[in-house]
């Protein structure tokens, strides 16, 4: 026999500060509140939403923790919509990608697939759009692979790829791709790189520099594809080594 009086389901309302934060967040993300614009003061927010000071301050703290606003003190102070930067947003994405990799929710092949999808066409675009400044930065990131490799080599290796992404003049490329290759580089001990790895990286980078400098888009894409294939092979070897040393992770 069915119950003639179905039970009412109640949806728990979010705390007042969370509701206010969600409304302000929506206004920021929609562009209604532009970067560097000052948010309404406490009196205005109280009048509009009917909440107290503690609720407002908790909502602002929530937005600040999401890096959507920043607060300054003084006569001209207040809470202002944050100005986005590729580097800052990229850091947050890197944290998420690193957590997925640590939990083995994403594989080396999947991470490298993303790099192929982004960096191969970016290299071709960079060959057209690069400036003399980009070329100089690429030259400065070339390293000598002899002897022991250290932090300077790792930094230059990453910088080469970052400069190529920037040379495409599309900030979304760096925003999406940089966290992936930083996670790959940090996840595997570079001291465990296969023999000849850094010489291969050096040869690939020098070849890419030459074709980007000459403006050969097709050659740049082909060389980047081969370079990423070389990297993928090395990362797979390092991943197998890591798994053998830590069998509980498999």
> pLDDT (tens digit, 9 = 90+) per residue, 186-237?
776 566 788 889 999 999 999 999 999 999 999 999 999 999 999 999 988 8
How far is CA 159 from each of CA 2, 97, 137, 151, 185, rounded to the nearest angstrom? 68, 19, 8, 12, 12
- pTM, two decimals, is 0.77
- According to CATH, the topology of domain 16-81 is Arc Repressor Mutant, subunit A (1.10.10)
Question: Phi/psi of residue 65, each to 5°?
Answer: -65, -25
Question: Phi/psi of residue 184, each to 5°?
Answer: -60, -45
Between residues 193 and 34, which one has the greater pLDDT?
34
Confidence of residue 246 (pLDDT cuts 50, 70, 90): low
Q: Which CATH architecture has domain 86-249?
A: Up-down Bundle (1.20)
Least confident of 4-8, 47-51, 140-144, 205-209: 4-8
Tell me, what's the pLDDT at 247? 60
Pairwise CA distance, residues 78 & 39, whole Å: 7
- The domain limits of the chain are 16-81, 86-249
Tell me, what's the pLDDT at 218? 98
**Dihedral angle over CA of 236, 164, 98, 145, nearest 10:** 50
* Residue that is written with structure tokens 């606003």 in the block: 69
Q: Is the pLDDT of residue 96 over 60?
A: yes
Q: Is the pLDDT of residue 178 over 70?
A: yes
Among the listed residues 160, 164, 158, the one whose alpha carbon sits nearest the alpha carbon of residue 128: 164
Confidence of residue 185 (pLDDT cuts 50, 70, 90): confident
Pairwise CA distance, residues 229 & 250, whole Å: 24
Contacts of 58 (CB under 8 A, 6+ apart): 17, 21
Pairwise CA distance, residues 46 & 70, whole Å: 20
Confidence of residue 103 (pLDDT cuts 50, 70, 90): confident
Q: Is the pLDDT of residue 30 over 90?
A: yes
Between residues 102 and 163, which one has the greater pLDDT?
163
Q: Is the pLDDT of residue 250 over 70?
A: no
Question: Phi/psi of residue 173, each to 5°?
Answer: -65, -50
């Amino acid at each position: 026999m069915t119950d003639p009086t179905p039970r009412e389901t109640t949806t728990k309302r979010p705390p007042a500060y969370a509701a206010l934060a969600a409304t302000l967040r929506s206004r920021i993300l929609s562009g209604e509140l532009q970067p560097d614009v000052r948010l309404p003061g406490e009196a205005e927010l109280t009048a509009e939403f009917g909440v107290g000071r503690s609720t407002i301050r908790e909502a602002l703290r929530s937005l600040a923790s999401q890096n959507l606003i920043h607060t300054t003190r003084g006569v001209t102070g207040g809470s202002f919509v944050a100005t986005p930067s590729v580097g800052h947003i990229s850091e947050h994405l890197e944290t998420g990608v690193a957590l997925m990799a640590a939990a083995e929710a994403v594989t080396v092949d999947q991470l490298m697939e993303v790099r192929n999808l982004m960096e191969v066409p970016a290299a071709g675009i960079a060959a057209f759009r690069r400036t003399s400044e980009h070329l100089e930065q690429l030259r400065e990131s070339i390293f000598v692979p002899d002897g022991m490799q250290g932090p300077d080599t790792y930094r230059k290796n990453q910088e080469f790829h970052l400069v190529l992404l920037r040379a495409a003049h599309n900030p979304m490329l760096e925003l999406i791709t940089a966290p992936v290759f930083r996670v790959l580089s940090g996840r595997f001990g570079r001291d465990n790189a296969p023999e000849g790895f850094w010489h291969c990286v050096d040869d690939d980078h020098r070849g890419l520099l030459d074709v980007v400098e000459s403006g050969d888009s097709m050659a740049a894409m082909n060389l980047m594809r081969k370079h990423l294939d070389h990297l993928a092979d090395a990362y797979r070897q390092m991943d197998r080594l890591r798994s053998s040393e830590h069998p509980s992770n498999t």
